[in-house]
Amino acid sequence: MLIAYLPILIMIVIASVMACSVLFISSLFRPKNPYKEKLSPWECGVKPTGEANVGHFRVHYFIIAILFIVFDVETLFLFPWAVLLTDKSISGFIFVEMLIFIAVLAIGLIYAWAKGALEWI
């Protein structure tokens, strides 16, 4: 029974060995030229505010990215909903459930908008 999983195990081992070997070989041949500007934190083209190791950095870019992911996932959930909505036996329940889902996301968007999370500074 477990012999059927042997090819998967072999593929995982080969992929892991290849990944580790590529990382090791690239560490041997990469240029090693550390300097202050290169080691400083980079925040999307904006000069960093304070020291990154202390926790003083701008997170606005990350908030926009998280909001994008949330609404991208919403779109992902809308496709199966549109397909299942054609089934008459469960269409009412699915429609109400998706309206609640969209309402919760709309409330979240309104909250983010009111807090100014969508304004690019």
Three-state SS at 46? strand
- Region of 116 (left: φ > 0; alpha: ψ -120 to 50; beta: rest) is left
Question: Quick one: what percent of the chain has pLDDT higher than 70?
Answer: 79
Supply 79's token pair: 């496709």
> What's the pLDDT at 68?
85
- C-beta of residue 70 within 8 angstroms of C-beta of residue 105: yes
* pLDDT score of 83 more than 90: no
15: nearest Cα among 5, 27, 23, 3: 23
**pTM for this model (two decimals):** 0.47
Residue with tokens 């202390």: 54
- From the DSSP assignment, how many helices (H) and strands (E) are in the chain? 4, 0
How do residues 38-77 score in pLDDT, each as one tens digit?
A: 777 666 666 655 555 555 556 777 788 888 888 888 888 8
Domain positions in the chain are: 1-30, 58-121
Q: How far, CA to CA in Å, does 21 sit from each of 16, 25, 107? A: 8, 6, 48
